[in-house]
Amino acid sequence: MRRAVPVVAGLALLAAGCARPVGAEPLFVDGGSASSPAPPARPPRVASGNGVHGPLGDVIDTGLPAAGGKKWVVVGVTGGAVDDSSPFGFAIGVRESDTVVTEYLTISEHQGSATAPGFHPMQGQMELDGGTEQPAFGYYVGTPATISVVDGGRPLAARLARWSHDPAVIVFWFDPAQVRDPTTWTGLGAYDAGGKRLPDGHIELFTY
């Protein structure tokens, strides 16, 4: 069963209006890298042991390596592991081919509206069998230029991608190669282009 780690309190107890950490620059991606193949004409099928259905909107290519030379992707999904109160969730998984994405786990809002401004429950980084690191990821409703966290005393900026199904929703993730200790994260925040802090929403970090 998914549980929240103690770091949640550290993430949530932030002074509203504090400035964006130095060095956290906007890192929007277009859902794929320049070397990625052109998207297939038909959307891939999401293969899931959790009963989710999708993708809802375009598949977001994180550009991060998974096992076997594959890449981590994030897709919008419905049903199954998505909380009953939420109309959608986001699944992280790997792209097996042009026609199949294998879902690893799904996050969704379970407290209030899934489209309320701000953060919604996110999944922390996890080490899988074989030493593969599954990246921390989540979604934010609003128009942030930057999403960042303080990791071991240094700012760490997330990669961002606008969800094609609903442009008000921003999917974000952190590169495991840049993470020192996710159990000590503090200072999770979203900021506009001028460095102004945006609404926090529902900050909650889950791990297994």
Q: Report the b/e string of 124-151 with b at 16+ CB within 10 A.
A: bbbeeeeebbbbbbbbbbbebbbbbbbb
Beta-bridge mates of residue 189:
148
Q: How far apart (Å, rounded) are the C-alpha atoms in residues 195 and 20?
A: 5
Q: How many domains does the chain have?
A: 1
Residues facing residue 118 across a β-bridge: 141
pLDDT digits (tens, 9 = 90+) for 78-95: 999 999 999 999 999 998
What pLDDT is recorded for position 47? 85
Mean pLDDT of the chain: 83
Give the domain range for residue 10: 3-207
The per-residue pLDDT for 20 is 36
Residue % of the chain over a pLDDT of 70: 79
pLDDT in tens, 59-73: 999 999 998 889 999
**Residues written for the chain:** 208
Confidence at residue 97, expressed as pLDDT on a 0 to 100 scale: 82
Rounded to the nearest angstrom, the gap between the alpha carbon of residue 123 and the centroid of all alpha carbons in its chain is 7
pLDDT at 126 over 70: yes
Residue-level pLDDT at 2: 44
Residue 1 has pLDDT above 50, yes or no: no
Report if pTM > 0.85: no
pLDDT, residue 9, reads 34
19 vs 177, more confident: 177
Say if residue 35's pLDDT is above 50. no
Per-residue confidence (pLDDT) for residue 13, from 0 to 100: 31
DSSP for 90-155, please give it: EEEEEE-SSSEEEEEEEE---SS-TTSSEE--EEPPEEPGGGPEEPPEEEEES--SEEEEEETTEE
Please, which pLDDT band fits residue 41 given cuts at 50, 70 and 90?
Answer: low
